[in-house]
C-alpha cells in the first residue's frame, strides 16, 4: 500500500507550525493508540503511520528534506515504518505518551494519587428497632456499637513501642511500583506495603501491627416524635477514624418501626378497622374507639354500612414538619352473628319478612322489631 503524505496523516497543512504538529499528533494518538484498541491491527498500523509522520515533521532537518524530496529524499527510506511492537521509541516518547494521556484516568495510573493525602474514615451503619408508640411520641434510646479506634499502645503506628515503621524496600516509600518500559509504563499499588510506603517489622502486641483496635461504644439517641419507618439518622464523626489526619466517618442509624396490632400508618394519619355488631350498624350506637393515647367516644349513625369510614380529627401522629397531628380514619366492619339461639333465629326470620315490604305501615313494624333485636343482641 502506497504511503500517505505525512501532512495528510497528521491532518495539518504544509505551513503548520511545530506547535500545530505536536497538537495534531496528540489528538490523533488518543484516537488510535493500540492500548485503547487491543487486537485491532488497523489501529496498530495507523499508530505506526502516525508516529512515522510525527518523527519526520517534528524534526526541522528531516521535515526540510521531506518537503524537498518527499519519500525519496536522503534518509527517507523505510526505517520509520518498523517500531518493534511499540517498544523501541526510547528518549522522550515515554514522557510524550504520559502527556497525551494525562487526565484521561485509568491509563495505568499515569495521573497517580497523593499517597500521603488524608483519608476519611469509613461510615458505619446501625439498625435500631423501636415500637409504634415510640415512633409516634418520640423517645430516647441507648445504642451500643463497635468501631475501630486508634491503638493507644502504639499511637496508631502499628509498631512496637520504642520502634518505628520502616521505609518499604519495594517501592522506596512511594507506595507505588512501576513496570514496563518505553512509553508504556504501568503504575500500581505496592504489594508489600499496600500503598502506605512504610512497613512494620516489630508489630505492636496490642493491635498486631494494624494501628487500630476494636472497641464498644455506647451513646444516646433522641428519636423525634413522628419518625417514619426506614428513616436514616446521622451522627456526624461517630464512624471509623480517618487515616493520616483525615476526618472520621459518620454513623448512620436506620430506624425500623414495629407494626402495631391495631393501627396502620398513612403519612400522619392512623388507619383503624373496627368491627361493630349488626344491631349497632342498624340502630346506631356510641362506641369506644381506641387511639394511641386513650379511648374516645364516637357515635355510629343508624343504617351504617360495612366499610363506612369516619374521620376523628387530631387523633393521628404528629407531623415532624408542621407540628400538627394527623387524623384517625375509622372504618367499621359490620359483623354477622354466626351462633344464634332459636329465639334469635325466629326474630331474624320475622325481620326478613319486613325486608320484603316497603309501605309506611310495615316500616313502623320494622322499627318495633329493630328494638327487639337491640335488646337481644346487646
Regarding whether 292 and 234 lie in a shared domain, the answer is no
The pLDDT assigned to 369 comes to 44
Regarding whether 316 and 224 lie in a shared domain, the answer is no
Domain endpoint, select from 257, 290, 325 = 257
**Residue 64: how many other CB atoms lie within 10 Å:** 11
The pLDDT assigned to 185 comes to 72
Regions in the chain scoring below 70 on pLDDT: 1-2, 34-35, 68-69, 71-116, 181-184, 354-378
Listed in sequence order, the residues at least 6 apart from 271 whose beta carbon sits closer than 8 Å to its beta carbon are 263, 264, 265, 329, 331
**79 lies in a domain?**
yes
**158 lies in a domain?**
no
CA dist., res. 11 & res. 246, Å (int): 49
CA dist., res. 90 & res. 192, Å (int): 30
- Domain count of the fold of the chain: 4
CA dist., res. 248 & res. 95, Å (int): 39
The pLDDT assigned to 371 comes to 56
Regarding whether 319 and 303 lie in a shared domain, the answer is yes
Concatenated DSSP letters of 269-335: EEEEEEEEEHHHHHH-EEEEEP-SSS-EEEEEPTTPPTT-EEEETT-S-B-TTT--B--EEEEEEEE
**204 lies in a domain?**
no
**203 lies in a domain?**
no
Which structural domain, as residue segments, surrounds residue 351?
342-377
**205 lies in a domain?**
no
CATH number at residue 310: 2.60.260.20
Length of the chain: 378
Regarding whether 54 and 16 lie in a shared domain, the answer is yes
CATH number at residue 78: 1.10.287.110
Give the 3-state secondary structure of residue 123.
coil
State residue 257 phi and psi, 5-degree precision. -105, 125
Regarding whether 321 and 307 lie in a shared domain, the answer is yes
**172 lies in a domain?**
no
The C-alpha cell at 111 is 495521573
The pLDDT assigned to 105 comes to 42
The pLDDT assigned to 72 comes to 56
Regarding whether 275 and 355 lie in a shared domain, the answer is no
Domain endpoint, select from 257, 284, 310 = 257
The pLDDT assigned to 344 comes to 83
CA dist., res. 276 & res. 72, Å (int): 107
**199 lies in a domain?**
no
Domain endpoint, select from 68, 86, 104 = 86
Regarding whether 79 and 21 lie in a shared domain, the answer is yes
Regarding whether 222 and 139 lie in a shared domain, the answer is yes
The pLDDT assigned to 115 comes to 54
Regarding whether 129 and 235 lie in a shared domain, the answer is yes
**289 lies in a domain?**
yes
Regarding whether 302 and 372 lie in a shared domain, the answer is no
The pLDDT assigned to 336 comes to 86
Regarding whether 22 and 146 lie in a shared domain, the answer is no
Report how far apart the first and last C-alpha atoms of the chain are (Å, whole number).
106
Q: Read off the pLDDT of residues 124-163 as tens digits, 9 standing for 90 and up.
A: 999 999 999 999 999 999 999 999 888 999 988 899 999 9
Regarding whether 227 and 349 lie in a shared domain, the answer is no
**Residue that the C-alpha cell 477514624 belongs to:** 241
Amino acid at each position: 500500500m502506497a504511503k500517505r503524505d505525512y501532512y495528510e496523516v497528521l491532518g495539518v497543512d504544509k505551513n503548520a507550525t511545530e506547535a500545530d504538529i505536536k497538537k495534531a499528533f496528540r489528538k490523533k494518538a488518543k484516537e488510535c493508540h493500540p492500548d485503547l484498541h487491543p487486537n485491532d491491527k488497523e489501529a496498530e498500523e495507523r499508530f505506526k503511520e502516525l508516529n512515522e509522520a510525527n518523527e519526520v515533521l517534528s524534526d526541522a532537518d528531516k521535515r526540510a528534506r521531506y518537503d524537498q524530496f518527499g519519500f525519496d529524499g536522503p534518509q527517507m527510506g523505510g526505517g520509520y515504518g518498523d517500531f518493534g511492537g511499540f517498544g523501541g521509541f526510547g528518549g522522550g516518547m515515554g514522557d510524550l505518551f504520559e502527556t497525551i494521556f494525562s487526565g484521561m484516568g485509568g491509563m495505568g495510573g499515569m495521573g497517580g494519587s497523593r499517597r500521603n493525602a488524608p483519608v476519611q474514615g469509613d461510615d458505619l451503619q446501625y439498625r435500631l428497632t423501636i415500637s409504634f408508640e415510640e415512633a409516634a411520641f418520640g423517645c430516647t434510646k441507648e445504642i451500643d456499637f463497635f468501631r475501630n479506634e486508634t491503638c493507644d499502645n502504639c499511637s496508631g503506628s502499628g509498631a512496637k513501642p520504642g520502634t518505628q515503621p520502616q521505609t518499604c524496600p519495594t517501592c522506596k516509600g512511594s507506595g507505588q511500583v512501576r513496570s514496563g518500559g518505553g512509553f508504556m509504563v504501568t503504575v500500581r499499588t505496592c504489594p508489600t506495603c499496600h500503598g502506605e510506603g512504610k512497613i512494620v517489622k516489630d508489630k505492636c502486641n496490642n493491635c498486631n501491627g494494624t494501628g487500630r483496635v476494636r472497641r464498644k461504644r455506647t451513646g444516646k439517641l433522641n428519636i423525634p416524635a413522628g419518625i417514619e419507618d426506614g428513616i436514616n439518622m446521622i451522627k456526624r464523626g461517630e464512624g471509623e477514624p480517618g487515616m493520616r489526619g483525615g476526618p472520621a466517618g459518620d454513623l448512620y442509624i436506620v430506624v425500623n418501626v414495629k407494626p402495631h396490632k391495631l393501627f396502620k400508618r398513612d403519612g400522619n394519619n392512623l388507619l383503624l378497622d373496627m368491627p361493630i355488631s349488626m344491631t349497632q350498624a342498624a340502630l346506631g350506637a356510641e362506641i369506644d374507639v381506641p387511639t394511641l393515647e386513650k379511648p374516645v367516644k364516637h357515635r355510629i349513625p343508624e343504617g351504617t354500612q360495612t366499610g363506612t369510614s369516619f374521620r376523628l380529627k387530631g387523633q393521628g401522629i404528629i407531623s415532624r414538619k408542621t407540628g400538627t397531628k394527623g387524623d384517625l380514619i375509622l372504618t367499621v366492619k359490620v359483623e354477622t352473628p354466626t351462633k344464634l339461639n332459636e329465639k334469635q333465629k325466629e326474630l331474624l326470620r320475622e325481620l326478613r319478612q319486613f325486608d320484603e315490604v316497603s309501605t309506611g305501615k310495615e316500616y313502623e313494624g320494622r322499627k318495633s322489631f329493630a328494638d327487639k333485636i337491640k335488646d337481644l343482641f346487646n
